[in-house]
Amino acid sequence: MEERPIRKLYYSISEVSKLTSLKPYVLRYWETEFAELSPPKNKGGNRLYRLNDIKLVFLIKKLLYDDKYTIEGARQQLKNREVKSGQMKLSLDELQKNDLLRELKQELLAIKSVLDLATDADNHQDIENLA
């Protein structure tokens, strides 16, 4: 029988921060900006993120960081049920993989632009040497 990882019912803000690669203060700020993101708090006042809250965080991150929406634009997109329902069907593992792939793509594009600049500088230097 295949062993399945045990999923928790609730995650702390530090766990969600690690899962999403976002700082805790960003998560707290987003709670003030997005009504849909409102994890309950325990008696000690600590946030208790559920799986749907984490999926919503990934969706907000994608809208703001990848799709380049403003906060108001992201709010409007969240009201669009199709956008939200598509993201919410993905598993937490799929969301993390997608997020990691987007981050890797951004880093690779940044490296490519640095290499392109270096190549352009070398070509410019070669042209000056010919003259």
Q: What is the structure's pLDDT at 83?
A: 60
pLDDT category at 4 given cuts 50, 70, 90 is low
pLDDT digits (tens, 9 = 90+) for 61-99: 999 998 899 999 999 988 886 666 666 677 778 888 888
Identity of the residue numbered 87: Q
Q: Read out DSSP for 21-80?
A: T--HHHHHHHHHH-TT----B-TTS-B-B-HHHHHHHHHHHIIIIIS---HHHHHHHHHS
Q: What is the structure's pLDDT at 124?
A: 63
pLDDT category at 56 given cuts 50, 70, 90 is very high
pLDDT digits (tens, 9 = 90+) for 90-127: 777 888 888 888 889 889 998 998 888 888 766 666 66
Kindly state the average pLDDT of the residues 25-31: 97
The average confidence (pLDDT) of the chain is 85
Q: What is the DSSP letter of 90?
A: S
Global confidence as pTM: 0.73
Q: What is the structure's pLDDT at 6?
A: 56
Q: Return the biggest CA–CA distance within the chain.
A: 76
Q: What is the structure's pLDDT at 129?
A: 66
Residues with Cβ within 8 Å of 75's Cβ and at least 6 positions away in sequence, in order, are 33, 34
Q: What is the DSSP letter of 9?
A: S
Q: Phi and psi for 69 in degrees, rounded to 5?
A: -75, 150
Q: What domains are there in the chain, each with its CATH number?
A: 13-130 (1.10.1660)
Residue with tokens 């290499």: 115
Nearest to 26 by CA among 36, 35, 14: 14
